[in-house]
Amino acid sequence: MAIARFKALELAQSRPTVPVKIPTEKVTDYYGSNTFNDEVMRSLLSPEAYLKITNAIEDGKKIDREAADEVAAAMKSWALSKGVTHYTHWFQPLTGTTAEKHDAFFDITGKGKAVEKFKGSALVQQEPDASSFPNGGIRSTFEARGYTAWDPSSPAFIMENVAGTATLCIPSVFVSYTGEALDYKTPLLKSSELIDKAATKVMNEYFSREVSKVSASVGIEQEYFLVDEALYNARPDLMMSGRTVFGHSPAKGQQLEDHYFGSIPSRVNAFMVDFELEALKLGMPVRTRHNEVAPAQFEVAPTFEEANLACDHNALLMDLMNKVAAKHKMRVLFHEKPFAGINGSGKHNNWSLATDTGVNLLGPSTKPKENLRFLTFFVNTIKAVHDYADLLRASIATAGNEHRLGANEAPPAIVSIFIGTEMTRVLNDLENLSEMHDIKLEKGDNVYLRLGINKIPALLLDNTDRNRTSPFAFTGNKFEFRAVGSSANSAAPMTILNTIVANQLLQFREEVDVYLEKGIKKELAIVEVLKKYVKQSRKILFEGNGYSEEWAEEASKRGLSNLKTAPEALTKYLEKSAIDLFSKHGIFNEIEMHARYEIEIENYIKKIQIESRVVGDLAINHIVSTSLKYQTQLVDNVRGQKEIGIDPQYYAPTIEIIKKISIYTAKINNLVDEMTEARKEANNVEDTAERARLYSTKVKNFLEEIRYCVDKLELIVDDDEWPLPKYRELLLIR
């Protein structure tokens, strides 16, 4: 009997719901109570220091030593009053998780006395042991040191730990001694500054002098699965690689039975309420969606925020969910494809641009003049995605997301844009406008009427259903980048998107200015350039079913890339056009681009390597051994039947099963040997790109082949003996 599996099942099924203490106050009373937010700063800082820090937040101005000391002192007393004992710089290294290095607030003086200590210098900068974080070769050649530096634009927060203690977390960037970024936040901040500059310029020159700042707004819908902790622990593959490498999925098209997966189970509900509460205290505007796309799959969608905050909050939310889930004896699976044959998980990044005057630049309006503004940002975004689709694809390229992109229930690896019927019509009209010089404006003529720009409906129909198959969809007042993987750090794709759109807006301005210099009316000049962009970007627009095979064919005819594997996609970071783009705008220099490539490609290799080892171990030690034991029972049984003279026709089917077990176990043994050999060969290759290619083309395929045999055995071997919790058990969470 497979004791571990049944013990786990018993535990999972008998778990009580962990009660959640609901505060008696209103949400507004505790929202953000664990953050060192504006209100706290205003009450604790001198007016001068407060002004300096708000300037730092809004304009990225440097904070001087004095102000830093004052902020540190205020932060310390605020934190101590809330029972906090430690502080840490909280940052996002390129491992994909968040990192912390906790220091105690207290220090020992020479006389053996403890004093509370936290100076401005400790707030502003720390030096974690950087050697344990990936650097893509940046530091190994030069200096092994890295620094974290305070990002005042993201509020410090208190993270409560399981032991009942709490830590003050200070959001920080992480850079090498030589100044290269070693994290996700640094380039995102730079890209936000860039898009502010570019979009503000366009606004000021063509639409409004009042705007002094434009920021990218990002709303992140996070999908995830929940699994009981005991069942999770009984699946070494989930523990090691975050996904099930084996497991017979319900037959295609067959719905998992309703009674398993009806309403939200109370344990899950308690978990959701609990993490929502904690998130609200941390100032995260969560709106939990209790919908399940697949069994045991859920989604949380906070309200959008400024890009840097939204990305920090998403990373923090993932941390928080892990912590709270542990309290509820569950595990959160952020892997893009934890279960074969069942919907994967994404992280939809909704993106738009907002001015400091409160205008959503991707929101259509009832006023024609405002619609020219809307069209400007709308079309420029399309053009940017058209020109740099490969970079967007590279920004979401991971081993996990490879399972999702192009699989039949996720956006394809082909980047295209869905804009809906109404916007399609608007762009068609725009493209068919006569040449600008043919538009003769009479005195009193309404230029917008003549341009047809008065006709955009302010409320665009929500095309959610059809846009589901698109990796990049316009959803009424924002673009939704749906192809981002659920485990990703959103800062990576958002950095790329900000940069390419900013670059495009700068180019747009140059092109419009050429017409303006010729004395052409502003509106006509803008329309003329937009019209050209629509023509040039046509091939990226696609309204049909992105999952269909016809689309792959059509896309290839259109000359769109279809980069199916992560290694292929990642090489796009190394192309000259990419390096030029990023270095021109100071987002990444060439060294940083190479480093990022190296890190991502090494992550990829590591992931496949781990999966391959897990598959080998489990297949041999769990599956083959169990199957052979069961086979021996069958052999004994047949022998017995023969002995007592049963007609052979009755045990012939059992012999068939015995044969099948022989066939599959032998096949598994051989495949595991071959896979180990392929891994060895790949590991011997020095060049990382080539090693990744080998893992992708010579190792990965074995995972599927071995899985096929194992899943067949799962259908044959006695259920009592099967060592791994089955899909229906993993997905049954109550």
Q: Note the residues at the interface with ligand ADP (CB under 6 A).
A: 217-219, 221, 301, 303-304, 350-352, 360, 477-478
> Among residues 357 and 670, whose Cβ is nearest to ligand ADP?
357
Stretch in the footprint of Mg ion (CB under 5 A) among 28-36, 88-96, 196-204, 342-350: 342-350
DSSP structural state of residue 234: T
State the Rg of the chain over Cα: 29
219 binds, among ligand ADP, Mg ion, none (CB under 5 to 8 A by kind): ligand ADP
What does 316 bind: ligand ADP, Mg ion, none (CB cut-off 5 to 8 Å by kind)? Answer: none
Token pair of 66 as six digits = 């004095």
At closest approach, how far in Å is the CB of 464 from ligand ADP?
Answer: 7
Burial class (CB in 10 A: 0-12, 13-18, 19+), 128: buried
Report, in Å, the least distance between residue 291 CB and Mg ion.
11
Report the partner that residue 477 touches, choosing among Mg ion, ligand ADP, none (CB closer than 5 to 8 A by kind): ligand ADP
Answer with the entry of ligand ADP, Mg ion, none that 482 interacts with (C-beta below 5 to 8 A by kind): none
187 binds, among Mg ion, ligand ADP, none (CB under 5 to 8 A by kind): none
Question: Which candidate, 91, 62, 63, places its Cα nearest to that of 176?
Answer: 91
Cα angle, residue 309 at apex, residues 305 and 312 outer, rounded to 5° = 130
- Closest residue to ligand ADP using C-beta atoms: 219
Nearer to ligand ADP, 347 or 404 (CB): 347
Q: For ligand ADP, which is the closer residue by CB, 94 or 307?
A: 307
Number of amino acids touching Mg ion (CB under 5 A): 1
98 binds, among ligand ADP, Mg ion, none (CB under 5 to 8 A by kind): none
Widest distance between CA atoms in the chain: 109
Burial of 158 (0-12, 13-18, 19+ CB in 10 A): buried
Distance between CA 541 and CA 391 in Å, rounded?
17
Written as six digits, the tokens of 418 are 């869905």
Q: Is 448 helix (H, G, I), strand (E, B) or coil?
A: helix
Strand 166-176 versus strand 157-160 pairing type: antiparallel
Going by C-alpha positions, the residue among 281, 291, 347, 357 that lies closest to residue 318 is 347
| Window of 319-327, 346-354, 377-385, 616-624 that interacts with Mg ion by CB under 5 A | 346-354
User: Would you say 176 or 350 has its CB closer to Mg ion?
Assistant: 350
- Cβ proximity to ligand ADP: between 174 and 304 the closer is 304
Ramachandran region, residue 179 (left: φ > 0; alpha: ψ -120 to 50; beta: rest): left
Taking the complex as a whole, how short is the minimal distance between the CB of residue 485 and Mg ion, in angstroms? 15
Q: Give the nearest distance from C-beta 262 to ligand ADP in angstroms.
A: 22
* Nearer residue to ligand ADP within complex by CB, 218 or 731: 218
Closest residue by Cα to residue 161 from 88, 213, 219 = 88
- Please report how close the Cβ of residue 412 comes to ligand ADP at its closest, in angstroms: 21
Question: Whole-number minimum distance, CB 303 to ligand ADP, in Å?
Answer: 4
Indicate the residue among 306 and 602 with the shorter CB distance to ligand ADP: 306
Q: Are 314 and 218 in contact (CB under 8 A)?
A: no
DSSP-derived 3-state class of residue 31: coil
Residue 488 contacts which entry, ligand ADP, Mg ion, none (Cβ below 5-8 A, type-dependent): none
C-alpha–C-alpha distance, residues 183 and 91, integer Å: 8
Phi/psi for 688 (5° steps) reads -65, -40
If the CB atoms of residues 218 and 270 are measured against ligand ADP, the closer one turns out to be 218
Using an 8 Å Cβ cutoff, are 313 and 238 in contact? Answer: no
Residue 716 Cβ, how far from ligand ADP at the closest point, in Å?
A: 44
